[in-house]
Amino acid sequence: AEPIRVAAVDLGATSGRVMACRVGARTLHLEQLHRFPNGAVPVHGDLYWDVLGIHREVLTGIREVARTGRLHGIGIDSWAVDYGLLDCDDRLLANPRSHRDPRTDGVPAQVRKTVTDTELYDVTGLQQLPFNTVYQLVSEIGSPALEAAERMLLLPDLLSFWLTGQAGAERTNASTTGLYDVRTREWAIDLAKRLGLPWAILPQLRDPGSVVGPLLPEVGEYVGLADVPVIAVGSHDTASAVVGVPAGEESFAFISSGTWSLVGLELETPVLSEEARAADFTNEGGVDDTIRFLKNVMGLWVLSESVRTWADKRLTDASLPALLAAAVDAPALRTVVDINDPRLLTPGDMPTRIQDLAREAGEPIPRTPVAITRTILDSLALAYRRNIRLAASLAGRDVDVVHLVGGGSQNSLLCQLTADALGVPVLAGPAEAAALGNGLVQARALGADLPDLAAMRALIRRTHDVRPFLPRPRSAPNSGDWEAAAARVSR
Ligand code: LFR
């Protein structure tokens, strides 16, 4: 059969990518045809996404995929929780805000007065992140935009709406909002009502793998295509990335490592125990009704913000490749900090914040960009260790191997440190797991013989290399005492 060729649009907080993904019976090929920088735009202390700019880049990318071959489908995934509000004429009421916008400061505490954390967890199964959609919406109560809103669309759904005119809420991403019932798999309307939210703005849910609709004629004309369907993929990037984990039969944990690190297990049913709530674990919806039982751990964001800070200060030796190369030889575990500290959430001078955290914790203060880079990576690996072990114990599972996918899988030092910290093998790659997961779900919707996740993953294993990292013995030079280091940080 002729291979299926789709456009996989994978949007990250720091870059967006449009890939041509070709799927045959024994082949799976990705080609990046468009890439553009992304980032939130600060205005008067608010933090916005330039969503129209993103839309234009998406169109440019689709046009490029269409220009270079046949195109059978289009699917969009992006980071979760952020949304746009539309008025009664389907016009965007305001630029969507970034989840790193400080507008949700204090909102979880306010919500707690109406709905306790336990009640919330029992319905949604979500980690308490201050930026969950529910808190963002509560912070908007009384605002002109929310008053006028007819619909709320999560970002990938908003972009798909602009391509097709069809509105909806794809489930994997809906599951991150804090307004979705993890058991009934419907919107948690009662919860929305209790919080005084206009629940009617929540659009109809749709499954990953369903067809959203054909391109609107004017969009088709712009990109030079007719009759191409937009397909709902796992529109939460992490859901697509987990589809793209090249796991076989083994008991695996995954780390989807990018701007954020999503650390956890794939399960059949949610874990809603008091222990899971107290440990702040999340139960997000995956493709094919799986549960992504995971924790949001601060990601390479801390490093990319540090590099940005050093670039602003014109420290010329502080390019990322140079820093990583030098950090390999820096002493192991000299300084470790709580990389999940909420102070690292917002944009700003990360190196100084890392130094402050070290000072507070009584750790040696890292003074140079290389030392700070090593502190960030050691601390990330420690957080991976802690949370994979926690996930396994909360879910009653063993972990034989850790699959590390996403951009972070190209960071060999991070992969090695993760193996050392956990004492189990780490299989690194693919870096483009999300785009692969996106493309594979589309291919199945278009008729490819990929009955389940196992078949998709088998195809990835056959066509993509993974790089193994084995834990080094403690006695090996510069491998570090992770047990002792774990006792030095609280989370
Ligand atoms: C990763 C991610 C995480 C989500 C965070 C914010 O890109 O989607 O899963 O918690 O971004 O949306």
Condensed to tens digits (0 to 9), the pLDDT of residues 125-136 reads 999 999 999 999
Predicted pLDDT at 477: 82
Pocket test for ligand 1, best of 262, 283, 300, 304 (most atoms within 8 A of CB): 262
Is the pLDDT score of 48 beyond 90? yes
Q: What is the CA radius of gyration of the chain?
A: 22
The closest residue, in CA terms, to atom 2 on ligand 1 is: 79
ipTM: 0.97
* Distance between Cα 238 and ligand 1 center (Å): 7
Is the pLDDT score of 231 beyond 70? yes
Distance separating alpha carbons of residues 29 and 21, to the nearest angstrom: 6
Distance separating alpha carbons of residues 22 and 256, to the nearest angstrom: 23
The answer to whether residues 83 and 146 touch, using CB atoms and an 8 Å cutoff, is: no
* Distance between Cα 2 and ligand 1 center (Å): 35
If you search the block for the tokens 């306790």, which residue do you land on? 116
Pocket test for ligand 1, best of 238, 254, 282, 432 (most atoms within 8 A of CB): 238
Burial label, 16 (beta-carbon count in 10 A; 0-12, 13-18, 19+): buried
Residue type, 165: G
* Distance between Cα 239 and ligand 1 center (Å): 10
Q: Calculate the average pLDDT of the chain.
A: 96
Q: Across residues 318-327, what is the average pLDDT?
A: 93
Number of other residues whose CB lies within 10 A of the CB of residue 283: 24
The closest residue, in CA terms, to atom 7 on ligand 1 is: 79
* Distance between Cα 481 and ligand 1 center (Å): 31
Distance separating alpha carbons of residues 10 and 369, to the nearest angstrom: 31
DSSP H or E run through 226: none
Backbone angles phi, psi at 263, to 5 degrees: -120, 115
| Residue 314 CA neighbour count, 13 Å, CB half | 0
253 ligand 1 Cβ < 6 A: no
If you search the block for the tokens 């809906």, which residue do you land on? 174
Q: Report which DSSP code applies to 212.
A: E
Minimum-distance ligand 1 atom for the alpha carbon of 256: 1
DSSP H or E run through 3: none
Predicted pLDDT at 318: 82
177 ligand 1 Cβ < 6 A: no
Catalytic residue among 77, 82, 157, 237: 237
* Distance between Cα 434 and ligand 1 center (Å): 12
| Strands of 344-440, DSSP E | 401-405, 426-428
Distance separating alpha carbons of residues 456 and 82, to the nearest angstrom: 29
Is the pLDDT score of 458 beyond 70? yes
What are the tokens at 2? Answer: 């002729």
Distance separating alpha carbons of residues 84 and 253, to the nearest angstrom: 33
If you search the block for the tokens 């995929």, which residue do you land on? 65
237 ligand 1 Cβ < 6 A: yes
Q: Report which DSSP code applies to 216.
A: P
- The number of residues in the chain equals 491
Among candidates 306, 299, 297, which has minimal Cα distance to 383?
A: 297
* Distance between Cα 79 and ligand 1 center (Å): 4
Q: Is 462 helix (H, G, I), strand (E, B) or coil?
A: helix
The answer to whether residues 241 and 405 touch, using CB atoms and an 8 Å cutoff, is: yes
Pocket test for ligand 1, best of 17, 157, 236 (most atoms within 8 A of CB): 236
The closest residue, in CA terms, to atom 9 on ligand 1 is: 238
Distance separating alpha carbons of residues 440 and 460, to the nearest angstrom: 9
- CA 27 → CA 3, 19, 270, 452, 461, distances in Å? 8, 16, 34, 17, 11
The answer to whether residues 432 and 398 touch, using CB atoms and an 8 Å cutoff, is: no
Lowest mean pLDDT among 73-82, 169-178, 471-480: 471-480
Among candidates 105, 126, 142, which has minimal Cα distance to 174?
A: 126
Distance separating alpha carbons of residues 222 and 216, to the nearest angstrom: 10
262 ligand 1 Cβ < 6 A: yes
Among candidates 298, 281, 294, which has minimal Cα distance to 403?
A: 294
Predicted pLDDT at 491: 55
260 ligand 1 Cβ < 6 A: yes
Lowest mean pLDDT among 141-155, 430-444, 473-487: 473-487
Residue type, 209: G
Distance separating alpha carbons of residues 110 and 115, to the nearest angstrom: 9
Predicted pLDDT at 1: 72
Predicted pLDDT at 37: 96
Specify whether 237 is catalytic. Answer: yes
If you search the block for the tokens 């297990």, which residue do you land on? 265
DSSP H or E run through 41: strand 41-43
Give me the helices (H) in 292-368, please: 301-312, 320-328, 350-360
Strand duo 211-214 + 73-78: pairing: unpaired
Is the pLDDT score of 482 beyond 90? yes
pLDDT digits (tens, 9 = 90+) for 369-426: 999 999 999 999 999 999 999 999 999 999 999 999 999 999 999 999 999 999 999 9
Predicted pLDDT at 100: 95
Distance separating alpha carbons of residues 43 and 347, to the nearest angstrom: 13
Selected residue with higher pLDDT from 14 and 8: 8
Q: Across residues 12-27, what is the average pLDDT?
A: 96
Between CA 466 and CA 468, with CA 467 as vertex, the angle to 5 degrees is 115
Q: Is 217 helix (H, G, I), strand (E, B) or coil?
A: helix
* Distance between Cα 350 and ligand 1 center (Å): 20
23 ligand 1 Cβ < 6 A: no
Predicted pLDDT at 490: 72
20 ligand 1 Cβ < 6 A: no
Is the pLDDT score of 122 beyond 80? yes
Give me the helices (H) in 125-264, please: 133-139, 144-148, 155-164, 171-174, 189-194, 217-223, 237-243
Q: Across residues 346-352, what is the average pLDDT?
A: 95
Residue type, 352: T
Backbone angles phi, psi at 83, to 5 degrees: -150, 165
If you search the block for the tokens 């059978």, which residue do you land on? 72
99 ligand 1 Cβ < 6 A: yes
Q: Across residues 304-321, what is the average pLDDT?
A: 88
Minimum-distance ligand 1 atom for the alpha carbon of 176: 10
pLDDT digits (tens, 9 = 90+) for 275-287: 999 999 999 999 9
Minimum-distance ligand 1 atom for the alpha carbon of 259: 7
Minimum-distance ligand 1 atom for the alpha carbon of 262: 9
Q: Across residues 70-78, what is the average pLDDT?
A: 97
Q: Report which DSSP code applies to 364.
A: P
254 ligand 1 Cβ < 6 A: no
In sequence order, the 6+-apart residues with CB closer than 8 A to the CB of 47 are 40, 41, 97, 98, 100, 101, 102, 347
Distance separating alpha carbons of residues 201 and 12, to the nearest angstrom: 25
The closest residue, in CA terms, to atom 11 on ligand 1 is: 79
Distance separating alpha carbons of residues 241 and 244, to the nearest angstrom: 5
Q: Across residues 265-293, what is the average pLDDT?
A: 97
80 ligand 1 Cβ < 6 A: yes
